[in-house]
Chains A and B, each alone.
Chain A
Amino acid sequence: MQSIPIEHGLILAGILFSLGLIGVLTRRNVVFVLMSLEIMLNASGLAFIVAASRWGHAEGQIMFLMILTLAAAEVAVGLGLIIQMYRRFNTVDINVLSKMKG
């Protein structure tokens, strides 16, 4: 039976997660921030799949399905917010949102 070490899969998920985190922290374009969030969610899904295939269970794939649903809902709401933000401020710069009045 072919096998790979579990830490390689989990470290790959960790690398993808940190890359997404760098994107979220660095970018000022709100569409890029949302894309980096997708990378992070996808990395956590990868970690679930790796851990599930370690024991040969199907539960990890079900958790991945839940993450997929969450990502779809989050992207729909996030893109709706981006459209609304572009209408109000006519920019995709996330820094304009810090000038909000209470």
Chain B
Amino acid sequence: MIILFYIAAAIAVISTVCVILQSNIVHALIYLITSLLSVAVIFYVLGAPFAAMLEAIVYAGAIMVLFLFVIMMLNLGQHTRDQEKSWLTSKVWIAPSIMSGILLVQLVNVLSELDHDVELTRVGVLEVSALLFGPYVLAVELASILLLAGLVSAYHLAKK
């Protein structure tokens, strides 16, 4: 189980690097799906099977299909790929990489002072749903209102 965590973590990092380096948008989307599925494996290893399932269904399924639908609708084909290649010169990577690198170094510095172990105990659907429809039921209702607002505004924005 532990080796599975590190393999999935390596796949997640590598495929995310491929997403931000890729100039073909559909290939980037496929790499993003790979990254999300390996994060789902990490969730499963960490003992959160419900979150893993939702990650695979909602993130890698529904949200990525939305992206694919918009890419097909806008017909982002060959000319976008050439445009991307002309935009992505090596010069534009320098400043963002340095800034994010500094941020990452600070994060690693702070986090490496923690030394707790994550015990891989399983917290299943039962415990999550008992909390979700007990103390957190207001959050569920608010989430449903948020989704409804998103639906209405997406419809309004995409209308001609």
B20, A49: Cβ atoms closer than 8 Å: no
| Inter-chain contact B114/A57, CB cutoff 8 Å | no
Contact B67 A31 (CB under 8 A): yes
Interchain nearest-CB distance for A1 vs B (Å): 5
Are B112 and A7 touching (Cβ within 8 A)? Answer: yes
B interface SS class = helix
Chain B: residues with Cβ within 8 Å of the partner, total of 86
- A35 at the B interface (CB under 8 A): yes
> Are A83 and B157 neighbours in the complex by a CB distance under 8 Å?
yes
A72 interfacial contact with B, CB 8 Å: yes
Complex Cα distance, B35 from A17, in Å, reads 13
Known: A7-B115, A45-B51. 20 other contacts (CB 8 A): A6-B117, A9-B42, A11-B108, A18-B103, A20-B16, A21-B99, A25-B96, A31-B71, A32-B20, A35-B32, A36-B20, A46-B43, A50-B46, A53-B119, A62-B136, A64-B48, A65-B51, A68-B55, A76-B151, A84-B158
What are 5 A-B pairs with beta-carbon distances under 8 A? A10-B114, A19-B20, A26-B88, A53-B120, A80-B156
Interface residues of B (CB under 8 A from A): 1-2, 5-6, 9, 12-13, 16-17, 19-20, 25, 28-29, 32, 35-36, 39, 42-43, 46-48, 50-51, 54-55, 58-59, 62-63, 66-67, 70-71, 73-74, 76, 80, 83-84, 87-88, 92-93, 95-97, 99-101, 103-104, 107-108, 111-112, 114-121, 123, 127-128, 130-132, 136, 139, 143, 146-147, 149-151, 153-158, 160
